[in-house]
Amino acid sequence: MAREADEVDRIVDAWRTQRPDLDFSPMEVLSRVDRLSRHLDRARRNAFHRSDLEPWEWDVLSALRRAGEPFQLSPKHLLQQTLVSSGTMTNRIDRLVERALVRREDDPDDGRSILVTLTDTGRIRVDAALTRLMDSESELLERLSHSERERVSALLRKLAIGFDA
């Protein structure tokens, strides 16, 4: 039984004809990761757009939502989770405050610091986006069984740990 070919197979086959001296296995893996990343990016942008959020807003709001009740974090913790500069984070918080998705509160443990708190509107918006996101991501993975998803996840985790270190 012949396997189903994708665009990466066609590209790699053409390269193998032209450069049989090279090992194209990295391209077979990473070109697929790149193409899947583009599909994922589109699906995520669509899910966020349908919830009236920009991807950067999702990053901040979802970090607050994951924190659990009372859905608040210091700007420093938000920086650590979103990997942006402090100036960028300040700008993002300002814009989210303007949209009434978060509010700034004095930190009761440190009078010089603030906490960023998810508003009810922000929580509703991020929860709706999460539901849409999980629906979209499930569609992207519908061709894989549960055990195949677990295997792919484990292999990607193994690869990612090397980069995250």
Is residue 146 situated within a structural domain? no
Percent of the chain clearing pLDDT 70 (strictly above)? 98
pLDDT band (50, 70, 90) for residue 165: low
Using CB atoms within 10 A of its CB, is residue 23 exposed (0-12), middle (13-18) or buried (19+)? exposed
Is residue 155 situated within a structural domain? no
pLDDT band (50, 70, 90) for residue 1: low
Is residue 106 situated within a structural domain? yes
Is residue 148 situated within a structural domain? no
Structure-block tokens of residue 115: 């906490």
Answer yes or no: is pLDDT of 18 > 60.
yes
* 19 or 1, greater pLDDT: 19
Is residue 114 situated within a structural domain? yes
Is residue 152 situated within a structural domain? no
Is residue 4 situated within a structural domain? no
pLDDT at 83: 84
* 65 or 107, greater pLDDT: 65
Helices 86-98 and 75-82: crossing angle in degrees, nearest 10, is 110
Amino acid letter for position 67: A
CATH of the domain at 57: 1.10.10.10
DSSP, res 108: T
Is residue 32 situated within a structural domain? yes
pLDDT at 2: 65
Contact present, 115 and 96 (Cβ < 8 Å): no
**Which residue segment(s) compose the domain that 100 sits in?**
26-136
* 83 or 142, greater pLDDT: 142
Answer yes or no: is pLDDT of 17 > 90.
yes
Q: What is the mean pLDDT of the chain?
A: 93
Q: pLDDT tens, 110-138?
A: 878 899 999 999 999 999 999 999 999 99
Number of domains, the chain = 1
pTM above 0.85, yes or no: no
- Residues in a beta bridge with 103: 117
pLDDT at 162: 79
